Amino acid sequence: MRKRMLAVLFLLLAAPPEAPAMAFSPPDLPAAEQVRQALAQSPVWAAAQDQQGVARYEAQELASGPYEFSVQVQGQSRWVRGMGDYGEWWTTLQRPVRLPGKAALDRQIGAAGEGVARAGFADARLGLAHELLGSWLDWLGSVERERLLVEQQRLAEENLAAVQKRLQAGDAARMDVQAAEADVEDITRSVVEARTRKDMALAVLNGRFPAVGTQSPPPLSDPQPPTGALGDLRQAVLTDSPRLQVLEMAVARARVTAARARAERWPDPTLAVFVASERGGDERIGGGMITMPIPGPRRGQEQARTQALLRVAEDHLAAGRQMLVARVASQMQAVAGNHAAFLAAQRAAAAMTGQAQMMQRAYALGEVDLQRLLLARRQARVAAVAALEARLAALQATYGLLLDAHVLWSEGVAPAR
Q: What is the pLDDT of residues 78-90, one digit of tens each?
A: 777 777 788 888 9
Spatial separation of the C-alpha atoms in residues 274 and 288, rounded to whole Å: 6
* 25 has a pLDDT exceeding 70: yes
Q: Which has the minimum average pLDDT: 217-231, 288-302, 350-364?
A: 217-231
Please report the sign of the dihedral spanned by the C-alpha atoms of residue 161, residue 167, residue 172, residue 178.
positive
- What pLDDT is stored for residue 413 in this prediction? 60
Q: Is the pLDDT score of 4 beyond 70?
A: no
Whether residue 395 has pLDDT greater than 80: yes
Q: Which has the minimum average pLDDT: 23-32, 245-254, 256-265, 292-301?
A: 23-32
CA distance 156 to 380: 12
pLDDT at 24: 62
Worst-scoring range by mean pLDDT, 99-108, 213-222, 377-386? 213-222
In this predicted structure, what is the pLDDT of residue 2? 42
Q: Which residues pair with 284 in a beta bridge?
A: 277
- Class in CATH terms, 2-67+100-266+312-404: mainly alpha
Question: How does residue 228 score in pLDDT terms, banded at 50, 70 and 90?
Answer: low
The confidence score (pLDDT) of residue 80 equals: 74
**Binning pLDDT at 50, 70 and 90, where does residue 134 land?**
very high
Asked if pLDDT for residue 109 goes beyond 50, the answer is yes
Report whether 234 contacts 156 (CB < 8 A): no
What was the pLDDT predicted at 226?
62
For residue 225, pLDDT over 80 is answered with: no
Contact 304, 103 (CB under 8 A): no
Residues of the chain above pLDDT 70, percent: 91
pLDDT, position 85: 81
Across the range 103-125, mean pLDDT stands at 96
Q: Dihedral through CA 45, CA 46, CA 48, CA 50, nearest 10?
A: 160
Mean pLDDT (whole number) for 329-358: 94
**Mean pLDDT of all residues in 32-43:** 92
249-278 residues labelled b (16+ CB within 10 A) or e (exposed) = bbbbbbbbbbbbbebbeeebebebebeebb
| CB contact at 8 A, 286 and 275 | yes
pLDDT band at 229 (very low <50, low <70, confident <90, very high): low
Whether 8 has a pLDDT exceeding 90, the answer reads no
CB atoms within 10 A of CB 145: 22
Cα(18)–Cα(157) distance, integer angstroms: 55
Report the 3 state secondary structure along the chain.
Answer: CHHHHHHHHHHHHCCCCCHHHCCCCCCCCCCHHHHHHHHHCCHHHHHHHHHHHHHHHHHHHHHHCCCCCEEEEEEEEEEECCCEEEEEEEEEEEEECCCCCHHHHHHHHHHHHHHHHHHHHHHHHHHHHHHHHHHHHHHHHHHHHHHHHHHHHHHHHHHHHHHHHHHHHCCCCHHHHHHHHHHHHHHHHHHHHHHHHHHHHHHHHHHHCCCCCCCCCCCCCCCCCCCCCHHHHHHHHHHCCHHHHHHHHHHHHHHHHHHHHHHCCCCCCEEEEEEEEEHHHCEEEEEEEEECCCCCHHHHHHHHHHHHHHHHHHHHHHHHHHHHHHHHHHHHHHHHHHHHHHHHHHHHHHHHHHHHHHHHHHHHCCCCCHHHHHHHHHHHHHHHHHHHHHHHHHHHHHHHHHHHCCCCCCCCCCCCC
Q: How confident is the model at residue 414 (pLDDT cuts 50, 70, 90)?
A: low
In the predicted model, is pLDDT for residue 415 greater than 50?
yes
pLDDT tier at 163, thresholds 50, 70, 90: confident
pLDDT in tens, 274-284: 999 887 777 88
Report the pLDDT averaged over residues 406-415.
Answer: 72
Query: Domain segments of the chain: what residues?
Result: 2-67+100-266+312-404
